[in-house]
Chain A
Amino acid sequence: MIQVLLVLHVLVGAALLGAITHQSFSVARRPTAPGRSFVDRFRGVNSPTFTNVTVLLFFANVVLGGLLYPQYRVEVRPTLEDLQLRAANGVFETKEHFAAVAFGLLPAYWLAWRPPLLPARADTRKYLTWILAFVAWWSFVVGELLNNIKGLFP
């Protein structure tokens, strides 16, 4: 069951990265003309369409992370402590705090992206999207690092 939840956690995280990264690039700079490069096309998406799915995936992944947490606390963390990998423990601590703060941001993020997209909220949309993207990427990378830590630090 834990393995199923862990795979689901990774898959939801990957989908979240796709959605939030598209949106993050799209708010970075408003293109003046249709772009032809890969980055321009990656950025040239209809940003608001990613909002609901980002909220749903972020919420789902925090819940999945919460369900997996007991297993981490009982089996993984003691292993990290035995191996004296303090930095690995530290990056997980930051992950749990970042995820919690970002989880609380979801209502404001959803409101900022709600049509009509008011110019007065443009900075809020941009920075909240970047914060969520940063937390999603940090959490994903840290999760993968800890999942493979025995291979990385044999």
Chain B
Amino acid sequence: MPSARMNVFSIVFGVAYMGLFFWSERYHTALFRYYPVLKSFSREDLPLEEAGPAILWYSWLFGAAVISSVAALIVPRSMAERIGQVWVWGVPAALLIVIIVYERRWFY
């Protein structure tokens, strides 16, 4: 049954994704990493010479999906329906700006 909980999922997903990304950037850690050369997942940060490059993107997506699903389930429906519509598009729009500001480091 479609409900305003879908809005909760969408708002929390972007925030959780960016939170996990910045957590990885700050502390050089992740829920898990995928090593394409080894074709395997690992929770450890394996040496580049042995394991090749790691992909963290999957872990940010997975973590955001879990966090936002839980948030959408536990937030009462009445509370979800009171969330202003501006939050639904305003939060992701703000996140896109945060991404642009943070990733401008590549262009200098």
Residues of A within 8 A of B (CB): 66, 69-71, 73-74, 77-78, 86-87, 89-91, 93-94, 96-98, 100-112, 114, 120-121, 123-124, 127-128, 131, 134-135
Contact of A89 among B10, B92, B100, B106 (CB under 8 A): B106
Q: B32 an interface residue at 8 Å Cβ cutoff? A: no
Q: Which residues of chain B have C-beta atoms less than 8 A from A96's C-beta?
A: 57
6 A–B pairs (Cβ distance < 8 Å), ordered by A: A97-B99, A98-B96, A100-B17, A104-B92, A105-B92, A114-B2
Q: Provide the bound-state CA to CA distance between A56 and B103, in Å.
A: 29
Asked if B89 contacts A104 (CB within 8 A), the reply is no
Asked if A131 contacts B61 (CB within 8 A), the reply is no
Q: Which residues of chain B have C-beta atoms less than 8 A from A66's C-beta?
A: 57-58, 61
Contact of B53 among A73, A87, A105 (CB under 8 A): A73
Query: In angstroms, how far is the closest chain B Cβ from the Cβ of A98?
Result: 6
Asked if A105 contacts B14 (CB within 8 A), the reply is yes
Q: Provide the bound-state CA to CA distance between A141 and B13, in Å.
A: 25
Asked if B68 contacts A90 (CB within 8 A), the reply is no
For B93, give the chain A residue with the smallest CB separation.
A131
Contact of A123 among B36, B60, B85 (CB under 8 A): B85
Residues of B within 8 A of A (CB): 2-4, 6-7, 9-11, 13-14, 17-18, 21, 34, 36-37, 52-53, 55, 57-58, 60-61, 64-65, 68, 85-86, 88-89, 92-93, 95-96, 99-100, 103-107
Q: A73-B53, A123-B89 are in contact. Are A100 and B61 (CB under 8 A)?
A: yes
For A87, give the chain B residue with the smallest CB separation.
B107
Taking A100-B64, A108-B9 as known contacts, 14 extra A-B pairs with beta carbons closer than 8 A to each other, sorted by chain A number, are A69-B58, A73-B55, A74-B37, A91-B106, A93-B103, A97-B21, A103-B13, A104-B14, A104-B92, A107-B10, A108-B10, A112-B88, A124-B89, A128-B92
Query: In angstroms, how far is the closest chain B Cβ from the Cβ of A133?
Result: 12
Query: In angstroms, how far is the closest chain A Cβ from the Cβ of B14?
Result: 4
Asked if B6 contacts A100 (CB within 8 A), the reply is no
For A128, give the chain B residue with the smallest CB separation.
B89
Query: In angstroms, how far is the closest chain A Cβ from the Cβ of B8?
Result: 9
Among B60, B85, B104, max chain A CB count under 10 A is at B85
Q: Provide the bound-state CA to CA distance between A70 and B57, in Å.
A: 11
Q: Which residues of chain B have C-beta atoms less than 8 A from A107's C-beta?
A: 6-7, 9-10
